[in-house]
Structure 1
Amino acid sequence: MAYTARESETRTAAKAAIELGHRCGSPRLADWSSISLGFLEVSVGDYTEAIAAFEPLMARFGQVPGPPEGGCGGSNRKSADNS
């Protein structure tokens, strides 16, 4: 909805989904709605609201599984010169 200029509908749907995720005790259910809301706010130039929409996602960056510290093991790879 955000990319079709339906701002009011996007905000209403995203906020309802975010609230539902929190009520269910599963804030991750709200992730895509938070992304949609943040995308909308960036699209209309309201960067303060975009940051507010993205904040719950950014707050979990340290908790999200991913590659180990230092990347994906690039230092363990053989270079093309040393193969």
Structure 2
Amino acid sequence: MMPEKCKPRKKPTKYTWSAKRQKVNDAPNTSTQPAKSTSCQNLTLGDWLTIYAYINSHPSISQLDVVTHFQTLRTGALVFTQSMLS
């Protein structure tokens, strides 16, 4: 038997991108500040070692106080929650 041949197909064309819409900036002027990023940013291993070294050097401090200490640092504030320490 003769093998069946596929019928010839057209070559694919380049993808045509649809036109992007321009963002409309019709919000009224306000004095409010934009919200901070709500995306989760993971701490590095070095950050965690710094946190646990601080906890070991201050054994009587609560977890909430540890969190507020690192969030209020003037240089390199670490943002995490109390539940991350538990």
TM-score, normalised with respect to structure 1: 0.28
TM-score, normalised with respect to structure 2: 0.27
Larger C-alpha radius of gyration, 1 or 2?
A: 2
Higher RCO (CA 8 Å, separation ≥ 6 residues): 1
* Bigger share in helix: 1
